[in-house]
Amino acid sequence: MVIDGKLIIRPIASERQARNAFADKFALRFPLILASQGELAPFFRPTTVLKYLFMGTVSEPVKSGVDVAMTGQRETSTAVSASSRGSDAIPPFQPHPWIKGPHLQTIVGRYWPWPRHRLPSTLDLVELGGGDRTSVLDSIPPGWLPGDPAAVLVHGLGGCSRSPYVVRVGKKLAAQGIRVVRMNLRGAGAGFGLSRSFYHSGKTEDVRAVTDWLSSRAPGSPIALVGFSLGANLVLKLAGEAPDQPLKGFDCVVAANPPLDLEACCRMIQEPHNRIYDRNFLRNLRAEVARLHASFPDLEPVNLSAAKSLLDFDELYTAPRNGFRDASDYYSRSSAGPLIPRIEVPGLIIHAADDPFIPTEPFRSIKFPEQLALELIPGGGHLGYLSRKPWKGDRRWLDARISTWLESHWASRVSPNPA
């Protein structure tokens, strides 16, 4: 194009597109800059960021560019699940080009600051027995009636009912007309101080108590148990126990990045390239234990100075405080893996093959029931899944996958919330 005798070369992308692309790239880097300046600074030393975020550790070789879907013992490479076709097809997860690798997906996925999600809710207390209680946040969509679907969302280690991933998924489900109960595991979040003990990976009785509480307030409603990480292990373990101990209203289960073999996870998180996660979890757990014992002075003193890893913590605190012989006994009796074949309700398990501290081997060795689908994704890290292209409004692929599965499962029972 020639203007006033000058040759003007118009870029392929419009100026607005270019600005958006720059803003997108800057925003994707911003969480690391923000974290390095604030309270997360010890976790994000420059050398640590360079060493961990740009590593590509994968627990075992997988095909790139496709999702691996498993049902029972059958394994096929496929881009979408069997239930999705046409315009509503589920896009295969492809990591954003600026957020590739398991560590970058995991850490940026965790500390990504925008947008802030809010989900209107009411706070309720649930009895756990023995004088202990916990708190839940109950969100009832406009027009919801008993008999309509409901979901209990269970957070992971170090999380709570207000963890961003819990709020985001809860908001999507509420928009579909599903009643959402976000529980605090024993001693977590707003439940701190209501119990003289902490949750652990096998304490399914607390999830059962919250499910019973919801069932009594939503008679006739089908209830989904949706768990993340440690919470995913809990909901799967409870689903495996349900045939012998029926759970009223329990209809389906959804689990994201579940640690099906706790001992294998413990070994993996102690590998040199994963010590950053081990130390971070340990620091938080030791602080919470100190806070608990300060709140209940009559609890016997505890000295965790010798705990240098999660394994040490479980050996010195989790196991003896919860009636396990040792850490190995705790891991063996609390892992959901052995109970998976006993699950009778339909469900979905999503896991990333490059999860930094949850290995894929247990997923390949377990016999999954026909009605329990496993989607093993080549990438995504631990609860990251920040995608190349937006789906259902944003780049959080996992959030959209969970909500679309439940929407499909309850297709005749849910209607979008106009609000």
Of the pLDDT bands very low, low, confident and very high (cuts 50, 70, 90), residue 116 is confident
pLDDT, tens only, 136-185: 999 999 999 999 999 999 999 999 999 999 999 999 999 999 999 999 99
Q: Residue ranges of the domains in the chain?
A: 1-261+340-419, 264-334
Distance CA 119, CA 116 (A): 10
What is this structure's pTM? Answer: 0.82
Q: pLDDT class for 306, splitting at 50, 70, 90?
A: very high
- For residue 84, is pLDDT > 90? no
The pLDDT of residue 416: 63
In this structure, of 4-13, 48-57, 389-398, the range with the lowest mean pLDDT score is: 4-13
In this prediction, residue 417 carries a pLDDT of 60
Around Cβ 222, how many Cβ atoms within 10 Å? 19
234 in Cβ contact with 162 (< 8 Å): no
Comparing C-alpha atoms, which of 415, 411, 416, 406 is closest to residue 373? 406
pLDDT digit string (tens) for 324-350? 999 999 999 999 999 999 999 999 999
Per the prediction, the chain carries an average pLDDT of 82
- Report yes or no: 179 and 149 within 8 Å, Cβ to Cβ: yes
Q: How confident is the model at residue 223 (pLDDT cuts 50, 70, 90)?
A: very high
Neighbours of 59 (CB within 10 A): 18
> With bands split at pLDDT 50, 70 and 90, how would you rate the model's confidence at 117?
confident
Q: Per the CATH hierarchy, to which homologous superfamily does domain 1-261+340-419 belong?
A: Alpha/Beta hydrolase fold, catalytic domain (3.40.50.1820)
Tokens representing 219? 């008679």
Most confident of the ranges 24-38, 70-84, 231-245: 231-245
| Owner of token pair 């203007």 | 3
Q: Mapping DSSP to helix (H, G, I), strand (E, B) and coil, where does residue 394 land?
A: strand
* Residue bearing tokens 């009785």: 205
Q: CA-to-CA distance for 404 and 415, rounded, in angstroms? A: 13
State residue 64's pLDDT score: 33
The alpha carbon of 276 is separated from its chain's Cα centroid by a whole number of angstroms, namely 19
* Residue type, position 192, single letter: F
Model pLDDT, residue 87: 40
Distance CA 396, CA 399 (A): 6
Q: Name the percent of the chain lying above pLDDT 70.
A: 77
Would you state the structure tokens that stand for residue 254, as one six-digit string? 């959804």
In the chain, the largest separation of any two C-alpha atoms, in whole Å, equals 87
- How far apart are the C-alpha atoms of 159 and 331, rounded to whole Å? 20
Q: Which of 172-176, 259-263, 414-418 has the lowest mean pLDDT?
A: 414-418
d(CA 373, CA 335): 19
- How far CA 242 is from CA of 200, 220, 252, 366, in Å, comes to 19, 18, 11, 19
| β-bridge mates for residue 74, sequence order | 71
Mean pLDDT of the region 199-207? 96
d(CA 150, CA 152): 7
